[in-house]
Amino acid sequence: MRWSFAQIGLLIICVVHVIQAVIGFILEPSFATGPGAPTVQLFGMDYNGWHAGAGLALFGPGLVFATRKSWAVLYLLLAAIAGALPGIWAFFSHQVAFVFTFPNNTTDAVVHLVTAGVMLAVAAIQIRMDGGLRNSLGDLRKAR
């Protein structure tokens, strides 16, 4: 089986972020909440147990979704939105979703939005290569 651009791109993105989440959890495993919750900055992101868990919850399943092209494209589009929303919120608050403490909220916001942008770009390139979204997601409708 030959892997598509979207599958390879998603695999790379997910592996990098899962590793980052694991390292972030090792460096700061606290699940404290509130403005004084401890965090550690890792590659521009403020990490603690909550943020590491969210990273694993978002990018861990991506490793499975990377096994099929249609799944990879759909996942890239949906996960980009899921990652961009807290990024936008982080521009306006140090306390995102009332749980995530981001002392360096602007940097966190930028990293979230850049990651979302990369995910959208990978999906868009695959969609263009396939001749449209319908073709990229075509095997989702196939009966097995």
26-82 pLDDT tens trace: 999 999 988 888 999 999 899 999 999 999 999 999 999 999 999 999 999 999 999
pLDDT category at 143 given cuts 50, 70, 90 is: low
In whole angstroms, what is the distance from residue 135 CA to residue 126 CA?
10
136 part of a folded domain: no
Domain range enclosing 70: 5-31+39-129
Distance set, CA 14 to CA 10, 31, 75, 139 (Å)? 6, 23, 11, 22
Instruction: Look at residue 144 in the predicted model and tell me its pLDDT.
Output: 57
In whole angstroms, what is the distance from residue 90 CA to residue 96 CA?
6
Q: Where are the alpha helices (DSSP H) in 28-143?
A: 49-65, 69-90, 105-130, 133-136
In whole angstroms, what is the distance from residue 103 CA to residue 90 CA?
10
141 part of a folded domain: no
107 part of a folded domain: yes
Q: Is pLDDT larger for residue 33 or for residue 23?
A: 23
What's CA 31's distance to the chain center, in Å? 20
Instruction: Give 89's Cβ-side CA count (13 Å radius).
Output: 15
- Kindly state the tokens that stand for 13: 């993105």
In whole angstroms, what is the distance from residue 29 CA to residue 23 CA?
10
86 part of a folded domain: yes
Residue-wise pLDDT tens digits, 106-121: 999 999 999 999 999 9
In whole angstroms, what is the distance from residue 21 CA to residue 18 CA?
5
Q: Is pLDDT larger for residue 117 or for residue 140?
A: 117
pTM score of the predicted model: 0.91
138 part of a folded domain: no
Average pLDDT over residues 124-128: 98
Q: How many domains does the chain have?
A: 1
The pLDDT of residue 142 is above 90: no
